[in-house]
Amino acid sequence: MSDIDTINNGCPLCTNIKRLEAYLLAPDEVIFFDWLTIKQSAIFGYKTFYYPFHRIHKETRIKRCSLDRIIKRFEAIGILTTETRQKPNEVGRTKYYRMNFAEVVKRLPEIIDCNHESAKSFKAYFNALARMQTKAERGKLQPSVSEQRTDINSTNLYNTLVETYKQRIARYNAGQVTADIPTRKKTPTQLTRNRSINNRLGMLSERYNEDSVKMAFIAYCDAILTGKDNVKAVHNIMTYFLTYDEVEDCFTVVDTFLAYFQQNYSYQS
C-alpha cells in the first residue's frame, strides 16, 4: 500500500476539525460535552448515571478545577444537572449526572454556530436524542442489544454462583472441605441479587471467563465455610465477593481468591 493510500484509507486522529469549528465552546468544554453526550445516550441508556472524577480525568484528561468550572457552566445554562448522593448498595457518595437533551436543543445557539454547515445535523441529532431520552424516562424504550446481552450474562453467572455455593456447602457437610466431618451442618441460603449486583456481575462477565469466576468463588465459599479470618465477618456473600475498587479499576476479592485457588487447589476441587 502506498503512502497516499494509507492516508486516504482513514485518519486515526481523534478530532474532527471541521465539526470543531462549529462549536462555540472552549476545547475542554467540547470534550466534556461530547463525553457527556455519549455516556448519557450510548453507555447508560439515557438514565442518570454516576461516574467518579478519577475516571472522567482518565478518559478526558480534564483537570479537576477545569471540570468543576465546566460543570457549573453547563448547569447554569440548564443542559446538565448533577447531584451528590449515596451509591446504591455501596459505601460512599459520588456525583450523579444527567444531560438534558431537550434543553441542549433549546440552547444550541450558545453551543454551536448556527450558521455553520454542520448546524442542521447537530440540531437533528440532538432532537433525536431528546425524543429517545423522553421515551426512556417514560419506560417505553426497549433495552439495547448490549444491555440485553449483559443481563443474560449476569443471569447466567448468578446461576453458576448459586449452584457452586450449594455444591461447596454439600462438600463441607460431607467433610470434604475440612479434615473432619463438621458437627454443625451448613444450610444454603438465598444469595442476594439486586440491581447493583446485576451490574457488577455484568462487569465481571466482561473481564473474566465463567470458569475463572467459578474458581475464585469456590475458594471464597470455602474460606467462609471454614471461618478464615479474612472473610469470617462477611455479612453479604455476593456484595463482598463483587467488591470493586474504582481507583484501581479491579475486583479485589475476585482477584485475591482466584490467585488463592490457583496456588492451593487442584483442578478436581
Which regions of 58-188 does DSSP assign to beta strands (E)? 80-86, 93-99
CA–CA dist 15, 111 (Å, integer): 17
Contact 36, 59 (CB under 8 A): no
**Going by C-beta distance under 8 Å and a sequence separation of 6 or more, which residues neighbour residue 89?**
194, 195, 196, 197, 239
- The C-alpha angle with vertex 18 and arms to 13 and 24, in degrees rounded to 5, equals 110
pLDDT at 269: 45
Tens of pLDDT, residue by residue, the chain (269 residues): 677 666 667 667 777 888 899 999 999 999 999 999 999 998 888 888 888 888 899 999 999 999 999 999 999 999 999 998 766 555 567 789 999 999 999 999 999 999 999 999 999 999 999 999 998 888 755 555 556 666 778 889 999 999 999 999 999 888 888 877 877 888 888 898 887 888 889 888 888 999 999 999 999 999 988 887 666 567 789 999 998 886 677 899 999 999 999 998 875 54
pLDDT at 161: 95
CA–CA dist 64, 45 (Å, integer): 26
Dihedral of CA 212/218/224/229: which sign? negative
pLDDT at 95: 86
pLDDT at 78: 95
Please spell the DSSP secondary structure of 124-158, one letter per residue. HHHHHHHHHHHHHHTT-SPPPHHHHHHHHHHHHHH
pLDDT at 40: 92
**Going by C-beta distance under 8 Å and a sequence separation of 6 or more, which residues neighbour residue 106?**
78
23: region left, alpha or beta (phi > 0 left; psi from -120 to 50 alpha): beta
